[in-house]
């Protein structure tokens, strides 16, 4: 039994390549803009768009079975959960530095 794998048109491949180049330039340009805490959000959104293009066209997920698509969506959902958990940890940390008592004592036994 032979399986037919559709090959994308050259125009589609060139269009996706151009979109990836534009998105890469956008990532670089946005890095120079001061957005505060939103810099990482914008960078991740652009990265998500680039990854989606690669998966959809170059990895041919659009021509895959429903089960393969389901696993791709499940992987993205899991990535989203991990990002939310990481952001929750990051946003609730106390970032003020407090010197420890042992950091102000002289070293004992070392050559000076």
The pLDDT tens digits of the residues spanning 66-86 come to 998 899 889 989 988 998 999
30 burial type by CB count under 10 A (0-12 exposed, 13-18 middle, 19+ buried): middle
Closest CA to 56 of 10, 13, 3: 13
Q: Which domain holds residue 45?
A: 10-90
Residue 30 inside a domain? The answer is: yes
Count of structural domains, the chain? 1
For the stretch 17-62, pLDDT in tens is 999 999 999 999 999 999 888 888 899 899 989 998 998 888 888 8
Residue 61 inside a domain? The answer is: yes
Provide the pLDDT for residue 105.
59
Residue 24 inside a domain? The answer is: yes
Residue 49 inside a domain? The answer is: yes
Residue 98 inside a domain? The answer is: no
Residue 71 inside a domain? The answer is: yes
Residue 41 inside a domain? The answer is: yes
């Amino acid at each position: 039994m032979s399986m037919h794998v559709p090959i994308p048109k050259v125009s589609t491949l060139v269009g996706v390549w151009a979109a990836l180049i534009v998105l890469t330039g956008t990532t670089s340009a946005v890095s120079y803009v001061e957005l505060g805490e939103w810099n990482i959000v914008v960078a991740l959104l652009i990265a998500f768009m680039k990854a989606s293009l690669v998966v959809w066209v170059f990895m041919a997920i659009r021509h895959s079975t429903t089960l393969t698509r389901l696993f791709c969506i499940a992987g993205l959902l899991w990535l989203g959960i991990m990002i939310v958990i990481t952001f929750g940890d990051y946003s609730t940390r106390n970032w003020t530095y407090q010197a420890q008592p042992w950091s102000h004592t002289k070293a004992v036994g070392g050559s000076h």
